Structure 1
């Protein structure tokens, strides 16, 4: 199985504790995901629920071509104010491992996302990644970067 690795970095002009509070809430992911993806948390959590190791989060998404899908991730590691990891348990990928790292910097937080993923279906999956999936993932993270700036401002 071919795996792919993408890394995204962004400085955010807010305290580390505020960044952690925002990104550790499953409901805030919808605020930084393109509207066209129809992203919705379907897990029965209270709106103020914070993540914890072993937490299973289910979603409805429309990743491509208007096809609605169920997706479930598990929070496998949480080191408060440092990093957390979510891994797909059910969904469109053969493998999804997403690390979210946070580091206090002067005037804010440096956030790093490290995403490792794989597409099912062998050669067809590799072709789908080259033609559609990689660009879609890059577009999602590009949107996310802009949404974070809209929410928290530009780091200077």
Structure 2
């Protein structure tokens, strides 16, 4: 089974503290998720993120398909990073690291997601035409929404990169 990785970086003209306060509030995930995904928190999102926190969502990653997605916040280093791991949901594996780094322009937000798809060869065949474009759309939306909320750093690049092994 293939392991895929998505890496995203974005610089925002805000302090690390402001970015951290926004990111550790689970309710803000809805703010940066496309409306078409029908995202809602069912339980566990009423407190800032902490190790061991279980958050259950409802999400429609693809039209006509709605599922519950349960994640556990497994690691938190205050002001630096947190990790969420899928416990139940549409992926065979989902391990998402969120890092914040102060830079001269503000803060660099970096996401590294390692994931595997279910359904063996069928999942691998669906990756380039279904899964990868959907993740691209989600992270493009997220980038634009964060710019709308916090502003844009001129003369910087954002990046979104996919790898597989």
Give the shorter-chain TM-score range. over 0.9
Q: Which has the higher strand share?
A: 2
Q: Contact conserved, 1:15 with 1:107, CA < 8 A, in 2?
A: no
Q: Contact conserved, 2:44 with 2:56, CA < 8 A, in 1?
A: no
Give the total of aligned pairs.
154
1:83-94 alignment runs, 5 A limit: 83-94=81-92
In the other structure, the counterpart of 1:131 is 129
Q: What is the CA distance between 1:107 and its match in structure 2?
A: 3.4
RMSD over equivalenced CA pairs, Å? 1.0
How does the TM-score come out when normalised to structure 2? Answer: 0.90
How does the TM-score come out when normalised to structure 1? Answer: 0.95
Cα distance change on mapping 1:80 and 1:44 into 2, 3 Å: closer
Find the partner of 1:77 among 57, 62, 75: 75
Deviates more, 1:142-151 or 1:100-109: 100-109
SS in 2 for 1:126: helix
Q: What is the CA distance between 1:73 and its match in structure 2?
A: 0.5
Q: Provide the rounded CA distance (Å) in 1 between the counterparts of 2:44 and 2:93.
A: 25
5+ long unaligned stretches in structure 2 = 155-165
